Amino acid sequence: MENLSSNFIKDVMIKDLESGKHDKIITRFPPEPNGYLHIGHAKSIIINFGLADEFNGKTNLRFDDTNPLKEDVEYVNSIKEDVKWLGFEWDNLFFASDYFEEMYKRAVLLIKKGLAYVDDLSADEIREYRGTLTSPGKESPYRDRSVEENLDLFERMRNGEFENGQKVLRAKIDMKSPNINLRDPVIYRISHATHHNTGDKWCIYPMYAFAHPLEDAIEDVTHSICTVEFEDQRPLYNWVVEQCEMESTPQQIEFGRLNVTNTVMSKRKLKQLVDEGFVDGWDDPRMPTISGMRRKGFTPESIRNFVRETGVSKGSGAVDSQMLEHFVREDLKLKAPRTMGILNPLKVVITNYPEGQIELLDAEINPEVPEMGMRKIPFSREIYIEKDDFMENPPAKYFRLFPGNEVRLKHAYFIKCEEVIKDIHGEVIELRCTYDPLTKSGTGFTGRKVKGTIHWVEATNSVPAEFRLYEPLILDNTDEDTAEEGKTFLDNVNPESLVVLQGFVEPNMRESRPHDKFQFFRHGYFNVDPKHTTVDKLVFNRIVSLKSSFKI
């Protein structure tokens, strides 16, 4: 796999190997199975797996499944599929929930050391007592319970004697700490809920801030890579590892989140788009999820190249979504066969072409890659062209078809528009053209020039196809936190993010399979949609158009 360019995390690893602090790098990718992975997660995957790989280390895929209410095996399965699809193999597959017993023991150890207590304050009271950035917190009246009482209450919490929210276990650190995370954080809560892995075995669950450092230490993770929001949690992370007397001491290192313009990048928001029907599922091609991008037609290589280009730093500005498009275009340029498709058909009858005759024209599968060989394209008296390639009363500099004008049909002949047929509403429904047999493509004809080249599909053998064209799902990059008063990111959802067109493709496309990718002449790159394609109907998702203003 391609290496990441040098960065501060890699530097730490090099230093730790050189100094002998570690003899092997162990990282983990720790998703919570409460949604599908998005392109932001791809960055975390590439950093964790990529860096460990570079140093012949190991990476665990660990499901951080400590919150039974939001988690589901559907998400577990999709995450495994997405990590593999991106091109990575985990050394171990772990579930944080498999460590519940161990975590419980460590919590008991904290209680015995006088470093944790059972609190009866309500969630609201705990928040109120916590204080603010400018004012110190206040100690809970339950803070000085004896070790014996705490041990007894904690065991009874585990045994299900209390309701949700009635009691919590808190670490006893410092209510006056300038770092709010150290003001006696809650480390266990009661939740009478069925867990996707442990079922009804537990009704108390560890909080993230307590569970995560223990998970890392249990797995001997050397470098626990996370995003910058967790920077203020690092002292608590270290406190947990130390006070719980873990043998391993992982080092937390933070990097800046990946954000991309014109989308949202949080599982909670993405779930809302799915649940409220803005999209047709987590794998809707407009979603920034790995499964959505796969369905749209992105390749693993294009995503990896994009992520590598964004680099590893502490900053987290939004990256232009056009940069993603640039990388998929680059990747498909030499891989995708070229073909022609008509998205908005207009019938053309070539009146001087022999009736009933079909000739097979030659075209390269990809002119940039001659080794890909040639394909045959049928041509006959009836073809389809794009509605847009004809204008009855064109403006100046319109070089496509109009009455009396001649254009080149890609890979075929020059045709000239002789007659326009309309329906009773005045709508153009057919063109009558003539062709010039001397102008056949590839014969070196130099008699005269035409300014326009248009694409076409032979009508009698063409295959019906649906084309799905996408625009950005989110109209600007305001997210809920910065949206105007009273508005949310949902107000920025683009109502016209999907356009569905019915057209035709060349007959040799009939054998296409889901996920086959093509470059349609003048229209861009398309992927055969795995969800909507049937034996009777091909459905193509546009991955990206041919041109972009983006330069890297």
As annotated, the active-site residues are 32, 257, 267
Q: What is the C-alpha to C-alpha distance for residues 540 and 530, in angstroms, rounded to an integer?
A: 9
Residue number closest to ligand ATP, CB atom: 40
Residue of 104, 98, 101 lying closest to 64 (CA atoms): 98
Task: Find the helix or strand (DSSP H, E) in which 431 lies.
Answer: strand 428-436
For ligand ATP (CB under 6 A), the number of binding residues is 15
Nearest distance from residue 35's CB to Mg ion, in Å?
A: 9
Q: Can you point out the beta strands (E) in 146-264?
A: 168-171, 186-190, 204-206, 223-227, 251-255, 259-260
Q: What is the C-alpha to C-alpha distance for residues 475 and 497, in angstroms, rounded to an integer?
A: 9
The string of DSSP codes covering 438-506 is GG-TTS---S---S-EE--EESTT-EEEEEEEE--SBSSS--TTTSPTT--GGGGB-TTSEEEEEEEE-
Q: What is the C-alpha to C-alpha distance for residues 40 and 289, in angstroms, rounded to an integer?
A: 9
Residue 227 or 488: the one with the smaller Cβ distance to Mg ion is 227
CA dihedral 187, 188, 194, 200 (to 10 degrees): 130
The reply on whether position 226 binds ligand ATP by CB under 6 A is: yes
CA Rg value for the chain: 31
Residue 208 or 540: the one with the smaller Cβ distance to ligand ATP is 208
The reply, when asked if residue 419 is annotated as ligand binding, is no
The reply, when asked if residue 267 is annotated as ligand binding, is yes
**The 3-state secondary structure of 362-386, one letter per residue:** EEECCCCCHHHCEEEEEECCEEEEE
Q: Which residues contact 369 (CB under 8 A, 6 or more apart)?
A: 334
Q: Which residues of 127-136 are buried (b: 16+ CB within 10 A; e: fewer)?
A: eebbbeeeee
**The 3-state secondary structure of 321-378, one letter per residue:** HHHHHHHHHHHHHCCCCEECEECCEEEEEECCCCCCCCEEEEEECCCCCHHHCEEEEE
The reply, when asked if residue 34 is annotated as ligand binding, is yes
Nearest distance from residue 70's CB to ligand ATP, in Å?
A: 10
**Binding residues among 22-81 for ligand ATP as defined by CB under 6 A:** 30-32, 40-41, 43-44
**Binding residues among 10-49 for Mg ion as defined by CB under 5 A:** 32
The reply, when asked if residue 341 is annotated as ligand binding, is no
Nearest distance from residue 32's CB to ligand ATP, in Å?
A: 4
Among 195, 267, 296, 338, binds ligand ATP (CB under 6 A): 267
The reply on whether position 227 binds ligand ATP by CB under 6 A is: yes
The reply, when asked if residue 38 is annotated as ligand binding, is yes
For Mg ion (CB under 5 A), the number of binding residues is 1
Among 13, 46, 182, 258, binds ligand ATP (CB under 6 A): 258
Among 157, 171, 265, 412, binds ligand ATP (CB under 6 A): 265
The reply, when asked if residue 41 is annotated as ligand binding, is yes
Nearest distance from residue 250's CB to ligand ATP, in Å?
A: 13
CA dihedral 387, 392, 396, 401 (to 10 degrees): 50
| 258 contact, one of ligand ATP, Mg ion, none, CB 5-8 Å limit per kind | ligand ATP
Could you tell me which stretch among 134-142, 264-272, 461-469, 526-534 binds ligand ATP (CB under 6 A)?
A: 264-272
Contact flags string 451-490 toward ligand ATP, x per CB under 6 A: ----------------------------------------
Could you tell me which stretch among 184-192, 261-269, 293-301, 377-385 binds ligand ATP (CB under 6 A)?
A: 261-269
- Binding-site residues, in ranges, read 32-34, 38-44, 64, 208, 227, 257-258, 265-267
The residues binding ligand ATP (CB under 6 A) are 30-32, 40-41, 43-44, 226-227, 257-258, 265-268
Task: Could you list the residues known to form a binding site for L-glutamine, using ranges.
Answer: 64, 208
- Contacts with Mg ion by CB under 5 A lie at 32
Binding residues for ATP: 32-34, 38-44, 227, 257-258, 265-267
